[in-house]
A and B are shown apart, each in its own frame.
Chain A
Amino acid sequence: MDSAKPQLMDRPKAEARHAASEASGAALVSALDAILGVQADVALDAVPVPHRRVERWKYTPVASWWKDVLASDVNTVAAAGCEANPVPGLDAYRLVFVNGAFDAVASDLPVHTGVTCMPLSQRGNAKLQDTDSFSPETSDWFAGLNGRYSQEGLYLRVAQGVELDRPILIHHHTSGEGAFNVLRHDIALALNASVKMVQWSTAHAGAEGSVNVLTRADVGEGARLHIDKVQDEEGTVRHIAFEDIRQHRASHAEVHTITVRGAWVRNDLTFRINGEGAHAELNGAFLPGEGEFVDNHTTVDHCVAHCTSSENYKGILYGKSTGVFNGKVFVRPDAQKTNAYQQNANILASKKASINAKPELEIYADDVKCSHGCTVGQFDSDALFYARSRGVGLEAAKAMLVRAFIGDVLKGLAVLEVRLEVEHRLAEKHGWEVWSDHPNDEA
């Protein structure tokens, strides 16, 4: 708590204090390097540790705990008790990572012409994609941490024209204390390739520590990538996830982020659109309960002309929870005829909940169509009364409105079984009776 309000201190003092803190952090980094046998070739110290005077971290304080991440026990022992399949009925290829380690027994890798899919540690001499000056590793300390310490993850290459027949499910599971799960998924889709992926994160009730996942995907010309990303972690795990998506001509990329449960979650998505005719879609729903914190930071970077992007994030905040939404859209000078849409709507379901929502549009081209909307509100009292006047209970009526509110986001999920399981888990978490809006009901 000592550094909770640095903005009240005079600036030089605060800077000095932060520098001292970083210096002690550097010692921890060296210790961690030794434990993990990491050659310090990634210049972590080039990126400052996040603090609240940096806009990207203004509403997401980490001062009180960032050093704990480095002082983890580095628990990489594969613990038993990981859910067999978090998505019942889903027919998918699977890669299971328990406490950051690949679990070969629980996994089922695709054997498919034109598809190279394996744990990162088994890729031999195959190269990962380069980080360039725009990559999150060069601008974000946590991403830098990932760059330095990630040794495991998914390595996926899909050849020209290949469409994978089943989704790939990546299951991250955390158990025990002192977790330091650093994973990197490196994906490249060649011309017209197509893949659906599910990233599902779970943690045991007693789990404690940090999860740091960076997914880098290069979506080739005409290629299609769908990622359904679900976070449902018990315990007190701090989860930070980066998606760094690079899109080429006429490609299509979607990331749907659903945060069901998580003590502390930050999602940081970047879509860089480098080829004409490409479409980016990013949707999310977050429903933090008592004491939970969820932050969604997104960047859509329109670098070239004739591209479209669509973004829709919905938040419902219960109890004493906190949410952050920051949606940045760049339209570069060459990106004429861009059509970018962003929407963020939030419901505060409790007087103690808070949301920090900020759309950020930077438009440098003059012939573009960009629209955005951002709302924060409460439950519609007319709709609640209407439902109650028909005999629906107050809590059931609220649940009905919530489900309607996030319905469009959930319908965007690429895999039906994921949607059904998300609905099930949300109902379980919030004590909703049944999820009656089953897709089979829709005539």
Chain B
Amino acid sequence: MLKINELKASVEEASILKGLNLTINPGEVHAIMGPNGSGKSTLASVLAGREEYEIEGGTVDFDGVDLLDMDATERARAGLFLAFQYPVEIPGVSNINFMRAAVNGKREHEGLEPIKGKAFLDMVKEKAKLVELDGRLRNRSVNEGFSGGEKKRNEIFQMAMLEPKLAILDETDSGLDIDALRIVSEGVNAMRSPERSFLVITHYQRLLDYIVPDVVHVLVDGRIVRSGGKELALELEEKGYDWIKEDIVA
């Protein structure tokens, strides 16, 4: 599904990713953990196509195509989804019209006609149920005045609407209380399938109690320095990142 080879990236001349390797197979859930400033969110932004980042080397193969050759829109239409750490507010654009434009963009890419009003609204209803998204939020401006939890549920709602091949969750657990964390996680788990992969970026092991990963990676200073099963997350929680850093030095 995703094969990252020796990826190097920088922003404003500061080198952040320094040769990152990662392979995710269809249906797998991978978690990336790591200390602040290790490059976790940069990886998410680079994969989603944020143009402020400079790619300095390496390749990314996404389901058989060169991901780095596509712009942000094309990547999304090809089936990549990023759940933002800080979802953006867009005053004046209703959530529902925003999603209609997104769904129709994907359909255009697939050679389909724009979705009919009734079918779209049925789809919205069904997917909103998944994350218990209040009906009122659908008609409000995108993320405007949403609480932290509502924003994150809205991200998962959008993911459900777009049915991506690969979803990257960038610190989706930040700012969530226990109830919201459960709802968001259940939404994600309901979407797990043999064809869909997830890359879950988090600081805390807590999220991985709910979304159980197949593989856990530790990112330090722009490289993945250790990979393992879900136990690795527990070990990190117990010993902290310094343990890994010391380990690398040693």
- Residues of A at the B interface (CB closer than 8 Å) are 382-383, 385-394, 396, 400-401, 403-405, 407-408, 436-437, 441-443
For A389, the chain B residues whose CB sits under 8 A away are 48-49, 72, 75-76, 81-82, 84
How far, in whole Å, are A404 and B150 apart by their CA atoms in the complex? 22
Task: Tell me whether A390 and B90 are in contact (CB under 8 A).
Answer: no
Instruction: Compute how far the CA of A408 lies from the CA of B93 in the bound complex, rounded to whole angstroms.
Output: 11
Binds A, one of B33-41, B99-107, B181-189: B99-107
Which residues of chain B have C-beta atoms less than 8 A from A396's C-beta? Answer: 101, 105
B76-115 interface (Cβ within 8 A of A): 76-77, 81-82, 84, 87-94, 96-103, 105-106, 109
Residues of B within 8 A of A443 (CB): 139
Interface status of B129 (Cβ within 8 A of chain A): no
A397 CA to B175 CA in the complex, in Å?
28
Q: How far is the CB of A400 from chain B (nearest CB, A)?
A: 5
Provide the residues of chain B in CB contact with A400, threshold 8 Å. Answer: 90, 93, 97-98, 101
Q: Contacts A391-B105, A394-B73 given; 16 further ones with Cβ under 8 A?
A: A383-B88, A386-B90, A386-B142, A387-B102, A389-B81, A389-B82, A390-B76, A392-B101, A393-B105, A396-B101, A400-B98, A404-B141, A407-B92, A437-B94, A441-B94, A441-B96
**Which residues of A have CB within 8 Å of B98?**
387, 390, 392, 400
Chain A residues with CB under 8 Å of B87's CB are 386
**CA of A386 to CA of B86 in the docked complex: distance in angstroms?**
10
**Is B139 touching A390 in the complex (CB atoms < 8 A)?**
no
List 7 interface pairs A-B (beta carbons < 8 Å), by A numbering.
A385-B50, A390-B98, A390-B105, A391-B109, A392-B105, A401-B93, A403-B93
Q: Is the CB of B100 within 8 A of A436?
A: yes
Q: What are the residues of chain A within 8 A of B162 when measuring CB–CB?
A: 390-391
Instruction: Judge whether B158 is part of the interface by a CB distance below 8 angstroms.
Output: yes
Known: A389-B48, A441-B96. A404 touches B76 (CB 8 A): no
Query: Interface readout for B146-177 with A: 1 if CB under 8 Å, 0 if not?
Result: 00000000000010001000000000000000
Q: Which residue of B lies closest to A394 (CB)?
A: B73
**Does A442 contact B94, Cβ atoms closer than 8 Å?**
yes
Q: Report the bound CA distance from A166 to B18 in whole Å.
A: 69
B71 within 8 A of A: yes
Give the residue name and chain of the A residue nearest to B72 (CB).
Answer: A388
Q: Which residues of A sit under 8 angstroms from B97, Cβ to Cβ?
A: 400, 436-437, 441
Known: A404-B93, A436-B100, A437-B94. A386 touches B84 (CB 8 A): yes
Q: How far is the CA of A57 from the CA of B87 in the complex (A)?
A: 45
Chain A contacts for B88, CB-based, 8 A: 382-383, 385-386
**Given the contacts A400-B101, A408-B92, A437-B94, A392 and B73 also touching, CB distance less than 8 Å:** yes
A394 to B101, CA, bound (A): 12
Could you tell me the distance between the alpha carbons of A407 and B141 in the complex, rounded to whole angstroms? 12
CA distance A255 to B142 in the complex (A): 30
By beta carbon, the residue of chain A nearest B84 is A386
Known contacts being A388-B49, A389-B48, is A401 close to B73, with CB within 8 Å? no
Complex CA distance for A317 and B101, rounded to whole angstroms = 24
Quick one: which of B73, B98, B100, B142 has the most chain A CB within 10 A?
A: B73
Residues of B close to A404: CB separation below 8 A = 90-93, 141
Q: How far is the CB of A401 from chain B (nearest CB, A)?
A: 7
Q: A382 CA to B162 CA in the complex, in Å?
A: 20
Which residue on A lies nearest to B102, using beta carbons? A390
Chain A residues, Cβ within 8 Å of B49: 388-389
Evaluate contact between B105 and A401: CB separation under 8 angstroms: no
Q: Chain B residues near A442 (CB, 8 Å)?
A: 94, 139
Most central of A382, A388, A389, A407 by chain B CB within 10 Å:
A389
The answer on a CB contact under 8 Å between A391 and B90 is: no
- State the Cβ distance, A154 to closest chain B Cβ, in Å: 35
Q: Give the nearest-CB partner of B161 in chain A.
A: A390
Q: Which residues from A are CB-within-8-Å of B73?
A: 388, 391-394
* Chain A contacts for B139, CB-based, 8 A: 442-443
Contact A405 B92 (CB under 8 A): yes
Out of A383, A385, A405, A407, name the residue touching B72 (CB < 8 Å): A385
Give the 7 A-B CB pairs with smallest separation, nearest first.
Answer: A404-B92, A391-B76, A390-B102, A391-B105, A386-B88, A388-B72, A388-B73
Quick check: A392 and B92 within 8 Å, CB to CB? no
Instruction: Identify which of B77, B89, B93 contacts A391 (C-beta below 8 A).
Output: B77
Give Cα A291–Cα B28 distance, bound, in whole angstroms.
54
Chain B residues in 8 Å Cβ range of A383: 88-90
Q: A403 to B101, Cβ gap below 8 A?
A: no
Q: How far is the CB of B48 from chain A (nearest CB, A)?
A: 5
From residue A197, how far is it (CB to closest CB) to chain B in Å? Answer: 27
Q: A391, A394, A403: which contacts B92 (Cβ < 8 A)?
A: A403
Chain A residues with Cβ under 8 A from B101's Cβ?
387, 390, 392, 396, 400, 436
Q: Please give, as numbers and ranges, the residues of chain B lying within 8 Å of A436 by CB-CB distance.
A: 97, 100-101
Contact partners of B158 in chain A: CB under 8 A:
390
CB distance from B46 to the nearest CB of A (A): 12
Chain A, residue nearest B89 (CB): A383
- A389–B142 alpha-carbon span in the complex (Å): 14
Chain A residues near B71 (CB-CB < 8 A):
388, 394
Q: How far is the CA of A407 from the CA of B144 in the complex (A)?
A: 15
Query: Which residues of the other chain, A, contact B94 by a CB distance below 8 angstroms?
Result: 437, 441-442
List residues of chain B with CB within 8 A of the CB of A407: 92
Which residues of B lie under 8 Å from residue A387 when comparing CB positions? 90, 98, 101-102
